[in-house]
Structure 1
Amino acid sequence: MSSSTVPTRTPSERSAAGGGPAGPEQLSVPVPGGDLAVLRWPATVPGAPTVVAVHGITANGLAWFEVARRLAGRATLLAPDLRGRGDSRGLGEPYGLARHADDVAALIAGLGLGPTAVIGHSMGAWVTALAAVRHPELVSRVVLIDGAVGFPLPEGVSDHDALAAVLGPALTRLSMTFADRQAYREFWQRHPAFAADWSADIDAYTQRDLVGEEPELRSACVPAAVETDGAQVLLDEEAATAVHRLPCPGALLWAERGLLDEPQGLYDEKRLAAAGLDGRHPVAVSPVPGSNHYSILWGRPGAEAVVRALLGPSSAGLAAG
């Protein structure tokens, strides 16, 4: 394992660290095929727990900036860039949710952490549930954020159509180039789920995704990784059933609004009940009112709900303002 300080390109990225002027430390942890880049926000409280946070399909570890801020040093937060993303983009095939779950396990074991809480957003929620199922000795509890639960496709919608609907916009972005950083900033500022909440922190997170040189900047995400992982979110049986086979305590937080801030989110009470997550299921299920698929992670209500799920009901009020 090696470590370094994450390069600080802008004041907004320093802000995104949730308390440290130089941003989170970046670790390099060996996994099959190379090294996994991991952002680390350290605890400031003696004996504090460690939490591993798993991002979504085209995200990177800096997506957890608000959770890090709300934890306020009461836990060490480790947020890997999954293989094929961010500074782990050089980690090649095989991709897939099980491979990511095994990388999370290698991170926990490689750092000698012992049983650890793992949280995951969107695709990262499927990875989190799989990590618990495949490596029960390493995962003590899970928090699943707007993900990990599949539901039947609407009548008349084929697997191919569903994949195109889910992956189409993401793959279009991954094929694009941008003349400069401002062009990429403006691209995201037009996104319906980002525009209303735009901040220096979100700017830092999106800017961290850029690689290359002007005038041909592009996303760090590897298209093949996104294609493979997206297909498994919808179609992989092991991933689909993991939430029902958890060997540890779990909580699911779901957003009321969708990926484009539309009124219908990925989940609602009817869809969750149809998937078997009701009052009889051991996973505790809670909505985050007013949130969309992204703001559930970086908005204050969502981040505080994550902290409560991790540290207990009285914890969020102690977080940084």
Structure 2
Amino acid sequence: MEHFTSHDLHLSDVRLHLYRGGHGPAVVLVHGLTDHARYWAPLARALAGEYDVIAYDARGHGLSDPSPNGYHLDLLAADLAALVEALGLMRPAVIGHSMGASTAAIAAATHPGMFRCVILEDPPWRSALPADMPDVTTTRATWREDLLAMKTMDDAALLARCRAESPGWSDEDYALWMESKKAVNPDALDVLPSFVRLWPEDVRRIDCPLLILTGEPERGALFDPGAEQIVRQVRPDVQVVRIPGAGHQVRREGFVAYLNAVKRFLKDAA
């Protein structure tokens, strides 16, 4: 991430790697499972002119250490809160994608007053699990096998796979996707069982403005209309923006609309 400084942050049991750049109110970026901090590069650059942007590698991802104490969303949320405190950030905004969205939501729910606002990109919340959905153990094993296979692929083959699965991304996004898969520790997938939780209770306890950015379920977005209805019941003031043409990777598939919504919300929450 050019023009960003690179740091290590030592928490009680793990070393996290982070990038920081820009000037203004703080914004913390929290990536998804098997991604890394640099995956945020296009958004980080777009915000750095007005904000102090911090993006970090979660434990087991990117350049951060593997976890000596396993992987669980509650542990990742504790890492986020510890990072905010260690850096002396005063009520930063937080933006999280997928696993990072759950991390941000839990951190905000368990640390009232810590965040100025919360922005969640396609959180992995559903109104109900599909009847044909494999159990978590099967999902984790399949994903791990796939991840290990990707680590042995040469760059040309991996790029061809990503282009086939996600046509229309930028060359930078393809490169960052490949880089993140090569860097992640497969044990990080052990976080998956903790995704099954009473997430509406987390939403109810968030005490600051909340924006959810998502895509179309038929294109792979996880946050379905039923989940949106549940969120609106517990947080009537929530803002939900569903970006046409985007799936789970909302900012990669609808970047302009995504960025406009983020900037508008950050200004309103200032």
Matched, 1:31 2:11: yes
Native 8 Å contact 1:55 1:120 kept in 2: yes
CA distance in 2, matches of 1:90, 1:141: 29
Shift of 1:102: 0.8
Q: Percent identity?
A: 29
Indicate the residue corresponding to 1:236 in structure 2: 197
Q: Helix, strand or coil for the counterpart of 1:267?
A: coil
Matched, 1:209 2:180: yes
Of the three residues 55, 65, 89, the one matched with 1:113 is: 89
Native 8 Å contact 2:124 2:222 kept in 1: no
Matched, 1:172 2:145: yes
Q: Helix, strand or coil for the counterpart of 2:152?
A: coil
Give the TM-score of the pair, scaled to structure 2: 0.87
Unaligned runs of 5+ in 2: none
Deviations 1:20-58 (A, max 9, x none): xx3532111111213111122322xxxx10100111111
Shift of 1:310: 1.8
Matched, 1:184 2:186: no
Shift of 1:195: 2.0
CA distance in 2, matches of 1:157, 1:179: 30
Indicate the residue corresponding to 1:41 in structure 2: 21
Deviations 1:205-264 (A, max 9, x none): 124326xxxxxxxx322222213x22211x233x5521122122211111114xxxx446
Of the three residues 213, 226, 246, the one matched with 1:291 is: 246
Q: Which amino acid letter does the alignment assign opposite residue 224 of structure 1?
A: D
CA distance in 2, matches of 1:112, 1:70: 23
Of the three residues 81, 99, 108, the one matched with 1:132 is: 108
Deviations 1:92-124 (A, max 9, x none): 323111111111111111111121111111111
CA distance in 2, matches of 1:204, 1:196: 13
Q: Helix, strand or coil for the counterpart of 1:100?
A: helix
CA distance in 2, matches of 1:35, 1:108: 15
Indicate the residue corresponding to 1:142 in structure 2: 118
Q: Helix, strand or coil for the counterpart of 1:293?
A: coil
Indicate the residue corresponding to 1:3 in structure 2: none
Native 8 Å contact 1:148 1:240 kept in 2: no
Matched, 1:195 2:157: no
Native 8 Å contact 2:203 2:231 kept in 1: no
RMSD: 2.7
The structure that is helix-richer by fraction is: 2
Give the TM-score of the pair, scaled to structure 1: 0.74
Question: Using a 3 Å threshold, how does the CA distance of structure 1 residues 169 and 186 change in structure 2: closer, same or farther?
Answer: farther
Question: Using a 3 Å threshold, how does the CA distance of structure 1 residues 66 and 305 change in structure 2: closer, same or farther?
Answer: farther
CA distance in 1, matches of 2:5, 2:226: 42
CA distance in 1, matches of 2:70, 2:232: 31
Aligned 1:268-287 pairs, distance under 5 A: 268-273=224-229, 275-277=230-232, 281-287=236-242
Q: Which amino acid letter does the alignment assign opposite residue 144 of structure 2?
A: L
Indicate the residue corresponding to 2:60 in structure 1: 84
Indicate the residue corresponding to 1:226 in structure 2: 189
Q: Helix, strand or coil for the counterpart of 1:183?
A: helix
Shift of 1:196: 1.9
Matched, 1:301 2:264: no
Question: Using a 3 Å threshold, how does the CA distance of structure 1 residues 302 and 120 change in structure 2: closer, same or farther?
Answer: same
Question: Using a 3 Å threshold, how does the CA distance of structure 1 residues 88 and 307 change in structure 2: closer, same or farther?
Answer: same
The structure number with the bigger radius of gyration is 1
CA distance in 2, matches of 1:284, 1:157: 31
Shift of 1:168: 5.8
Native 8 Å contact 1:118 1:142 kept in 2: yes
Tell me the number of residue pairs that the alignment of Structure 1 and Structure 2 aligns: 268
Aligned 1:85-100 pairs, distance under 5 A: 85-100=61-76
